[in-house]
Amino acid sequence: MDNLITIQRAQPAPPCTVVIFGASGDLAKRKLIPSLYNLVACGEGMMPAKSAVVGFARREMSIDEFRKSAHDWTVRFSRLKVDEACWAKFADSLDYLSGLDHPEGFVKLKAKLEAIEKARGIPPNRVYYLAIPPEAIGDSVKRLTEAGLIYKPDAPHFSRVVVEKPIGHDLPSALEVNRTLVKYLDESQIFRIDHYLGKETVQNLLVLRFSNNIFERLWGARNVDHVQITVAEAEGVGSRAMYYDHSGALRDMVQNHILQVLTMLTMEAPVSLDSAAIRDAKLNVLRTLRPITPADARTNTVRARYSAGVDEEGKPAPGYLDEQGIADNSRTETYVALKTYVDNWRWSGVPFFIRTGKRMKRRASSIYVQFKDVPQILFNRDSKIPANGLMIRIQPDEGFSFDVMTKRPGLDLVLSPVRMNLSYNTTFGSGASPEGYERLLLDVMDGDHTLFISAQFVEKSWEFVQGILDSWKDGARVPLVEYPAGGWGPKEADELIRLAGRVWHEP
């Protein structure tokens, strides 16, 4: 491909040992082990040489059992087909230890890490990935410190801790989690992960905006009519019922993934590509996000849950209250729609419409930027011409498209919308995009915080969400409505955007 411009080339990070807390859990099976294999796999080669991976969990398991299970997980969930020669190389780096639920287990972990590092001839650089329930984070970090497994931030070798979302259940608990983390760790050692930021299209938002003058000159209230962000999931709660019924769509998706996307879409140009500069630019957006108060929650928010309907294949699907593990008296929402504003100079007066839900028509995540109508003269005098729209597809068909008007060939003057489309799979080849966790794991090993969430971002995002949670408390101000599985959500969400003079665009 001509005119390639390499700004920053990915390089293998220093050799280290990655310790996966909760190594027998769902996240390790589906994402972490397959992603680490892909970093090692032939043709990728980004995993630091001689590095090791240690599974650390409660259950007893031999190293051979762990390696066999890891192989099965990777065959099932890896984006790359498993090459047995490459797997043998990766399997040699795998080890396992039980005792996560006992203080003495951390003493054994220290001894195992020292033995592995000596045998493999690598420095004592360590990454601790806490793929464990949020309530276990505090004890794990405390025990790591007490066992001497956390270095001082200025030590010659690094110890880094990766924390999965959710960071808290509400604003007070998020503040408490952050206080606990900084009690034992320096902020430079904490990596709060949001796998959405590892997605290729999300990362490409900065490139699309700040390396294409045509878009940046149009980006803001002068030219943009409104913005829609949609994160639709086709599946129900599945095996996550216990977690999800205590979380809901607002906490599970809006507080982290969607607000991250919103800030990357709307932030001002950072002063550099340094991680601190990018994080500051995103944080400034949250500082200007208009709060949703109890007074306007009824007109600016919708909450709903799915009832019986059909799944993505048209087969019968149960309602939320009929799912296994969901309480009969549950009041948890599986769908949220919001209207909000970014009250700064660039975006003043531009409405942002957000929706996310489970059991929707199909799996799709996208951003739709609709530009303002052309003046009602010339071609637009007698009949309304559709506005230009930019659709950024995050998943599953990564890419973007731009809708423009053109003349249809022929003797008559007939205008027709045309879609200029970029598909990552078509342009760059199927499988070209790495899994989000691959990018993020490599960044942790390299100590790059760019795609990770700061403590201030966590707190400001919870401040915004907390206002909505408080508005929903009594259940009367914003009632919990229903929508049939297999559609695009409740009619109340259609009404929310219709009252603002717009309509949802199918992602």
pLDDT in tens, 82-138: 999 899 999 999 999 998 888 899 999 999 999 999 999 999 999 999 998 888 898
Residues 54, 190 within the same domain: yes
Predicted local distance difference test score (pLDDT) of residue 201: 73
In terms of DSSP H, where are the helices of 245-383?
248-249, 259-266, 275-288, 297-300
pLDDT band at 433 (very low <50, low <70, confident <90, very high): low
Q: What is the number of other CB atoms lying within 10 angstroms of the CB of residue 217?
A: 10
Query: Does the residue 433 lie in any domain?
Result: no
Residues 281, 336 within the same domain: yes
Q: In the listed set 160, 180, 196, which residue is the last one of a domain according to the structure? A: 196
Residues tagged active-site: 257
CA distance 91 to 83: 12
* Higher per-residue confidence, 9 vs 131: 131
Query: Does the residue 425 lie in any domain?
Result: no
Say how many domains are in the chain. 2
Query: Does the residue 346 lie in any domain?
Result: yes
User: If residue 95 lies in a helix (H) or strand (E), which one and from where to where?
Assistant: strand 94-98
Residues 192, 214 within the same domain: no
* Percent of the chain residues topping a pLDDT of 90: 58
In terms of DSSP H, where are the helices of 83-136?
84-91, 103-120
Predicted local distance difference test score (pLDDT) of residue 3: 53
Query: What strand order describes the sheet that includes 94-98?
Result: 94-98, 52-57, 17-21, 126-130, 159-164, 190-193
Residues 244, 139 within the same domain: no
Range of the domain at 242: 197-372+454-498
Residues 332, 227 within the same domain: yes
Residues 204, 188 within the same domain: no
Predicted local distance difference test score (pLDDT) of residue 42: 57
The per-residue pLDDT for range 218-251, each reduced to its tens digit, is 899 999 999 999 999 999 988 788 888 889 999 9
Q: In the listed set 152, 181, 196, which residue is the last one of a domain according to the structure? A: 196
Tokens of 306: 């799915």
Query: Does the residue 168 lie in any domain?
Result: yes
Query: Does the residue 396 lie in any domain?
Result: no
Rg of the chain (C-alpha set): 24
- Three-state SS for 443? helix
Query: Does the residue 8 lie in any domain?
Result: no
- According to DSSP, the β-strands at 399-407 and 389-395 are antiparallel
Cis peptide before 294 (omega within 30 of 0): no
**CB neighbour burial string for 102-141, b if at least 16 within 10 angstroms, e if fewer:** eeebbbebeebbeebbeeeebebbbbbbbbbebeebbebb
Residues 208, 124 within the same domain: no
Residues 183, 204 within the same domain: no
Residues 206, 192 within the same domain: no
Residues 98, 119 within the same domain: yes
The per-residue pLDDT for range 271-306, each reduced to its tens digit, is 888 888 989 999 999 999 999 998 899 999 999 999
**CB–CB of 236/317 below 8 Å?**
yes
CATH of the domain at 289: 3.30.360.10
**CB–CB of 254/247 below 8 Å?**
no
Query: Does the residue 84 lie in any domain?
Result: yes
Residues 243, 149 within the same domain: no
CATH of the domain at 165: 3.40.50.720
Query: Does the residue 209 lie in any domain?
Result: yes
* Higher per-residue confidence, 433 vs 43: 433
> Which of 26-30, 404-408, 503-507 is least confident?
404-408
CA distance 235 to 317: 9
Residues 205, 168 within the same domain: no
Predicted local distance difference test score (pLDDT) of residue 397: 80
Q: In the listed set 196, 216, 249, which residue is the last one of a domain according to the structure? A: 196
pLDDT band at 1 (very low <50, low <70, confident <90, very high): very low
Q: Select the highest-mean-pLDDT range: 50-59, 133-142, 201-210.
A: 50-59
